[in-house]
Amino acid sequence: MSTSLLDKIDKTQAQLASQGLLRRRHAISASLPRELHPELSGALSFTLEGKHYLNFSSNDYLGLSRSSQLIDAMCGAAKRYGVGSGSSPLVTGYSEAHLALEQRLCKITGHQAALLFCSGFSANTALMKTLFDSSDTVMADKLMHASVIDGLRDSQAQLKRFLHNDIASAERIMNQRVPTALVTESIFSMDGDIAPLSSLSQLCKQNHVCLIVDDAHGFGVQVPPLVDAKIADIQVVTFGKALGCQGAAILASQQVIDFLVSNAREYIYSTAISPVNACVALAAVDLMDTDRFLVQRLSDNISYFRQQCAQADIKLADSGTAIQPLVLGDVDTTLLVADKLKQLGLWVGAIRPPTVPKGSARLRMTITAMHTRDNIDRLVDGLSTSLA
């Protein structure tokens, strides 16, 4: 490898480290699976380098990744289909398992058709770069996920960004030039707040604009659901959050899905998501749709956490969802507090630029249905101690 390339890598890494922005991986040892229903017997947890942590950074909001129903579904599907799909969906990689999941997703959301992807990131980038080109103008919320922004950049569409969750800002931009589409998230991944979806939907319908909603963090955790075909023309859902497994889907009209099948390079040239993953996701959707116990438990835990933080004078961001940010602003302060929490056996994400805007570094805590009140009390006590 060229010396110049290695020198550039070393320089960039050193610069990131000096700014507190260097990312590193940690290989954790997961705790044993637990039965989730009818009672929850403990919180998400893991072991790292011999130390045990309570996990307040997981997107597994309902704890379904450890559900016995999903584990059974995976074992049964592996015996039937094997563990991989073997090829692209357009060769022999598309099976009855994929079709069944797509149909089930359409049934509960009201969309005509669906298309499965290996991740939410690939679904979003594929959607943006396939639907749009340099002749299009696309509006997006200022805090839109990186996957959407990357896809729009690849598409060469003109991007207009409106102020976060600000209908007046969106209207001003739309009055200047009617876009091809408007893109937002349902629940924003770093702030945990909910988009004004009804107002955005009405605005788009009045101007004959396509509304696209990235429903990654909303799908499965809100009753009634935040998004369906009545709200959004195109809805992206992921399986790695509330469903506790892996993969994603784009839900839309049959016309849009047929177009993506023929033109989305990420779909055409990727090995299909495995039938096993499709079966597990289908089991998760069925469980989510028929058993509201976990959703209610999650809601109760969120309310309890916010109540306890208010009593401890811990000033959280305004979020009623599982994503609970505590904005500290300074990167070094955020890393210091996160490290103090780790010393107390509490794993909380320290979110820094460029994931969030400069000056808004934060602790991003995620509450799940698996956490007990004792777990939550321990987190609040740890925050009080670490912030002092």
Place of tokens 């094997």: 82
The angle that helices 146-155 and 120-131 make with each other, rounded to 10 degrees, is: 30
Backbone φ and ψ of 328, nearest 5° = -110, -20
Strands 137-141, 181-185: pairing is parallel
* Angle made by CA atoms 232, 233, 236, in degrees to the nearest 5: 70
CA–chain centroid gap for 69, Å, is: 22
The angle that helices 197-206 and 167-176 make with each other, rounded to 10 degrees, is: 20
State the Cα–Cα distance between residues 12 and 195, nearest whole angstrom.
36
CB-based contacts of 45, cutoff 8 Å, min separation 6: 31, 52, 53, 54, 55
Of the candidates 315, 327, 308, which has an alpha carbon nearest to the alpha carbon of residue 377? 308
Alpha helices in the chain (DSSP H): 3-18, 68-81, 96-109, 120-131, 146-155, 167-176, 197-206, 254-263, 265-268, 275-290, 293-311, 331-343, 373-387
Contact (CB, 8 A) for 115 and 93: no
End-to-end CA distance of the chain: 48
State the Cα–Cα distance between residues 333 and 341, nearest whole angstrom.
12
CB-based contacts of 248, cutoff 8 Å, min separation 6: 116, 117, 118, 119, 120, 122, 123, 216, 236, 237, 238, 239, 240
* Burial of residue 355, with CB atoms counted within 10 A of its CB: 0-12 exposed, 13-18 middle, 19 or more buried: middle
Residue 104: both structure tokens together = 């089930």
- Write out the catalytic residue numbers: 59, 145, 185, 189, 214, 217, 241
